[in-house]
Amino acid sequence: MSQTIQRRFEGARFLVTGAGTGFGAELAARAAQEGAASVLVHYRSSSAGAEQTARRVRDLGAEATTIQGDITSWDDIRRMAEEAFAAGGIDVLVNNVGDMASGQASWKEVTEEAIDHVLAVDIKGTMLMVHEFGQRMAERGGGAIVNVGSTVIVRGSPRAPQYAAGKYGLLGITKSYAKALAPAVRVNTFAPGFMETEALLARPEWLGGRRDDVLSNTPAGKIPGPADMAGAALFLASDDAHHITGGYLVADGGYSMLGA
């Protein structure tokens, strides 16, 4: 069945973090497809990727501007917030940036450096983005924030426990700021399962049998690419989700389904 792209965000202004590659790039493009007036394309180091995403956004009919910043730096986040709101503000913030410790194949490989980095990005960085942008959105009249998590909040991650810890932390951030910023700003977490991003495809165990195992245990019978998941993530930012805040949406084809 062919998919019809809805126009859920006519005239809205978006910021998508980590939008130079992968899921972030698809989220930015999907926002433009759905009528966004403008998309701020955030990147930390992949300026070429961010500009490529910005071109896609423009080709889809929205304005696009790239914005650089290190999500682990409060100073950088404050600067980005000031720049964004000096230029007119945003209606939707999608916190896509996260570190999944993709180079780690087993919990036995965990290091203190890996723990510090994952928690700095997934917890500190996301919290400060919600803090700085959320309060400005509330003062300006409202909006929606979507934090991109993972189904490790349901299943854990024996491969990289620090990754699961970081994504569990997102739930605390989501619930806390959903209350703090209510009723002006809604805050939710989108929890996707496996998506065949470049990062996942680069993991040796994925093509060494892990993909077949995941596929055989996924009732939906497929492992989607990032473009296939962008619409579900942005549902949480749409008016259809007007009564959803402080929650999370799992989208993993039934892989994490619990028994009776």
The answer as to whether 2 is a domain residue is no
Percent pLDDT > 70 in the chain is 97
Q: Is 43 a catalytic residue?
A: no
Contact between residue 145 and residue 193 where contact means Cβ atoms under 8 Å apart: no
The answer as to whether 215 is a domain residue is yes
For 70, the domain range is 13-250
Nearest to 22 by CA among 60, 51, 53: 53
- Summarised one tens digit per residue, pLDDT across range 133-153 is 999 999 999 999 999 999 888
Percent pLDDT > 90 in the chain is 72
Q: What's the rounded mean pLDDT across residues 181-190?
A: 98
Q: What's the rounded mean pLDDT across residues 107-130?
A: 91
Q: What's the rounded mean pLDDT across residues 123-140?
A: 97
The answer as to whether 226 is a domain residue is yes
**pLDDT score, position 181:** 98
Q: What's the chain's average pLDDT?
A: 92
The answer as to whether 166 is a domain residue is yes
Q: What's the rounded mean pLDDT across residues 242-256?
A: 95
CATH number at residue 116: 3.40.50.720
3-state secondary structure of 34: coil
What secondary structure letter does DSSP report for 204? T
**pLDDT score, position 260:** 43
- Summarised one tens digit per residue, pLDDT across range 43-81 is 999 899 999 999 999 999 999 999 999 999 999 999 999
Sequence-distant (6+) residues with CB within 8 A of 200 are 102, 194, 206
The answer as to whether 6 is a domain residue is no
The answer as to whether 257 is a domain residue is no
Contact between residue 90 and residue 138 where contact means Cβ atoms under 8 Å apart: no
Q: What's the rounded mean pLDDT across residues 4-14?
A: 93
Share in percent of the chain as helix, strand, coil (round to 5): 45, 15, 40
Torsion of CA 43, 44, 47, 49, to 10 degrees: -50
pTM given for the model? 0.93
Q: Tally the domains of the chain.
A: 1
Catalytic residue among 43, 163, 248, 255: 163
The answer as to whether 22 is a domain residue is yes
Selected residue with higher pLDDT from 156 and 253: 253
